[in-house]
Structure 1
Amino acid sequence: MFVQNEDITLPAEDTIVWKYLDLSKFLDLLLCKQLFMSRSDKFEDQYEGTFSEPTFEELKKISGDNPEFLDKYKQHRKNVVISSWHINEYESYAMWQIFTKNNEGLAIQSTIGRLQQALGPENRYEQHIGEVKYIDYKKEKIPFDNNFFPFLFKRKSFQYEREVRIVSDLSPHHVNINEGVKANVDINRLIEKVYIHPKSENWYKNLVFQLMEQLGFPFEIEKSDLESDILI
């Protein structure tokens, strides 16, 4: 279930967000009605869930001769799971390139408000939504008075991601997390529109339409704006 965390920066409810994914992951989302959340230390960025240099130095002073103090933070990364979304009023050509392959893939368009509504009370995991802040890890501090803060900061090199995250700390549940977990989600509230890859072949577009019809999902399927005809 979604829980509002007063310490976490949350964009306005009408903020448009996107998730770019391949067809197999999209179908898994629809059929299971569950959102995959990846274990934080499995992300490609090795700094995920870690602290900036100034914060690390401060933590070392606090920990003193107690190495277990720092080990707790390292272990914490294995118990935090994340679903990443991209903030943008429009489609992103860069996101298509990064998250889809072979000119095949889909983009889910939603809003912050829809994400909040979709994370229903039947989910046993507490889920928090927060906007990622991009900082200089050599100069700027990351607060450590909230367990979620390390997962809502990234290096400035990743600013292009414009990321908002659904974050869950599963430490209280004592579950064994491999690559991640699946969390229950209200699909109809989550998805506002579906966009098909702008460079996909006609057979692929037809396949998406047929699957949506056969599965009985009434989502509005949009032609990519990047596929628009030129005017001259």
Structure 2
Amino acid sequence: MYRQNPNITLPENPDTIIWKYLDLSKFLDLLLYQKMFMSRSDKFEDQYEGTFSEPTFEDIKKIAENNPKFLHYYKSHRENVVISSWHANEYESFAMWQIFTKNNEGLAIQSTIGRLKEALALEKHFEQYIGEVHYIDYKKEYIPFDDAFFPFLFKRKSFQYEKEIRIISDVTSQKLSINDGLKINVDINKLIETIYIHPKSENWYKKLVTELVAKLGFDFKIEKSDLESDILI
């Protein structure tokens, strides 16, 4: 279920458009099991996930001198936080297609922040928080640590192109042993507004996706990306 945290910032407009770019196998897994995968925070490629900027770390080290458990908590906490990443953008992103779809058979889910909140209502075991990521200079800027979620809502400026909106869940209290991540229940019909097919895909691929979606009992709007449409000249 979605919980609001007053310390976490999020665009106020519930109609803010968000995207998730993924390959067909992950998409079918989402539809078949109606569960969203959330990755363990320390399994992301970016080794800085869930860590602190240099100015913040200096403060933490001072506190940890008399309280070693303080620093250990932040290191171990990364293993208990899971994340689902979304891209906030009014339009499709050429960069996102390139990065998150490995071939011409990927697709993109278009949703909104409002839809995302509603879709998460099905999950009764894990609480989810939604927040926007802030991009800072990790050598100069400070990350506050008065909220346990803050380390997961900041990234280096090199990742600004991601315009990331995150679903974050802390499962520490569940005392689970998480490998790569976990799956949470979602209302698929509320989550997905439109499905966009990879701009470089063939017509047969759109037909295949359309038929698969229908056989699984869904009737989402399915569009071919127009990033590769014919030029008008």
Whether TM-score is above 0.5 comes out as: yes
RMSD: 0.9
3-state SS, counterpart of residue 78 of structure 2: helix
3-state SS, counterpart of residue 7 of structure 2: coil
CA contact (8 A) 1:132 1:165 kept: yes
- 1:193 matched to 2:194: yes
Tell me by how many angstroms 1:167 deviates: 0.1
Structure 2 partner of 1:3: 3
Tell me by how many angstroms 1:230 deviates: 1.2
Tell me by how many angstroms 1:121 deviates: 4.8
What do residues 43-62 of structure 1 show as CA deviations (whole Å, max 9, x unaligned)? 00000000000000001111
Q: What percentage of residue pairs aligned between the two structures are identical?
A: 75
Structure 1 partner of 2:158: 157
Once the two structures are superposed, the pairs formed by residues 54-203 of structure 1 within 5 Å of their partners are 54-203=55-204
Q: Kindly provide the amino acid, as one letter, of the partner of residue 229 in structure 2.
A: S
What do residues 128-156 of structure 1 show as CA deviations (whole Å, max 9, x unaligned)? 00000000000001010000000000000
What do residues 163-195 of structure 1 show as CA deviations (whole Å, max 9, x unaligned)? 000000000000110000000000000000000
Cα distance between partner residues in 1 of 2:124 and 2:197: 29
Tell me by how many angstroms 1:227 deviates: 2.7
CA contact (8 A) 2:122 2:186 kept: no
Structure 2 partner of 1:39: 40
TM-score normalised by length of structure 1: 0.98
- What are structure 1's unaligned runs of at least 5 residues? none
- 1:30 matched to 2:10: no
3-state SS, counterpart of residue 169 of structure 2: strand
- What are structure 2's unaligned runs of at least 5 residues? none
Q: Kindly provide the amino acid, as one letter, of the partner of residue 101 in structure 1.
A: K
Q: Number of paired residues?
A: 232
TM-score normalised by length of structure 2: 0.97
Tell me by how many angstroms 1:215 deviates: 1.4
What do residues 23-52 of structure 1 show as CA deviations (whole Å, max 9, x unaligned)? 000000001000000000000000000000
Q: Which range is displaced more, 149-158 or 114-123? A: 114-123
